[in-house]
Structure 1
Amino acid sequence: MLIEQHKTWLGSGSGALLDIHGHSEAALARALVRITVSAVGDLAGSPVEGTVTLVRPDGTPCTVAHGEGPAVELSRWDQRTGAGPTGRALGGRLSIVLNHRRPDQRWPEYVGNLTAAGFRSAVAIPLQLERGYTAALTLYSATPNMFAPEIAGKVLVFSGVAAKSLRLALKYRANLAVSAENRATLAARTAVDTACGVIMGRNQCSYETAFQILTQTSRQRNLTVREVAEDLLRVMPGGVPAAYFKARA
């Protein structure tokens, strides 16, 4: 999916969207991380690493980063244990770890892991999603106090754009899945109905009897009713009929 390329994100963010596209939820989250790390790094004048932790409606989590590195394992550990800012952000609360020289008493084990991973600052921001999804954007820096108020405020503005973009990307992907399922259902129905018509003509029977013949054959051959119907239609002059879709006005 191609959304309007976001170039000048620093501002209200109300009308801007990020260019997020991918074949899966993980790919969408990874695209978001890639854009975010680049934008925030340019803003701060120092490289940052980042992850997006996405929790699906069924409760299964997915944590991704742009490339491989310690940020992914740190965020995954944080999500599993709830003993750090990522877990807190998944609950809807912003958290900032500013300086390793003054250990954060909320998460002593996390701060130790943060330092061992080579980071000195972190910020975890909840991303407001829909349809049962929750997500957290976590950024890491090797620089102490990287996410002090000036930078953190701008990152918060950017996170609003990020959340909106991810919401739309997930919605678009869900709609595509529903559309594909509907098309498959209609295609199957078209083939079955046409095959039933052929059987009715050959055997001078009702639709119900013709459908029962298809069902019995599918069981005997260990195939779906649609597969049996399409096998029958392939030997007909017109072949398997195409399903037509009419758009609503």
Structure 2
Amino acid sequence: MELQLRMLGTGGAFSTRYANNNALMTIGDFTLLVDCGVTAIRSLHEMKVPLTSIDGVFITHQHADHIGGLEEFAFQMLYVYRQKPKLFVPSTLRNVLWENSLKGGMINPEAGLNSLDDYFEVIEIAEGSAAKLSEDFRLEILPSEHVRYKSSYSLLVNDRLYYSADTRFNRARLEELHDRGVRYFLHECKLYGAPGVHTTLEELLTLPEELQEKIQLMHYSDDMENYIGRTGPMTFLHQHELYRYPLD
């Protein structure tokens, strides 16, 4: 069994070259879209991925580069394809996702569209728990600290692949997962500047080399090419390329 990954984009929130850091993950016959940012629908079109081939969407947090395309995705699925897609959402995000982010553009009482459930088959996942998305696809959500007092999450897929999404540096978590046998770490990386709401390259370079060898970098700035060869054994993920990760 393997996980197949294609990044819709690998850029940070302000990137104009690399699109929003969103991912397509496929295990067996189930394809999950991890986040659906402003550039997601265009990226899927460029990749020739039909919206109907996506079995579910997972949202890690509320920033526009992670949810800004969700309205269009929902509208296309409703009005073009007449389908109600699955939306996997952490329990702490369900209400704020609708009330604070989506409601203004998507509520339509005349059409009977008054809630997230009118557009999606909403499946809540409790913080720190695991969900079985299909026979082969298991997902555990791990609370992360990104912007304080706002819920955000990282993912652990089939106990083998860690996907950080947006997060401050968490050495203890990375080392604990490494010790547990996690093989692959897809981690966001702020290439320069002081630590803040994102993990910096400087911080990641303090990790043990055997852990760095497992890390692929994403969510980077437009000057990424200037850092090739400056990331230790860590490598960069590239948008639209197909990556295969054996899970057995």
TM-score range for the pair, normalised by the shorter chain length = under 0.3
Larger radius of gyration: 1
Higher relative helix content: 1
TM-score (norm 1): 0.28
TM-score (norm 2): 0.28
Higher relative CO (CA 8 A, sep ≥ 6), structure 1 or 2? 2
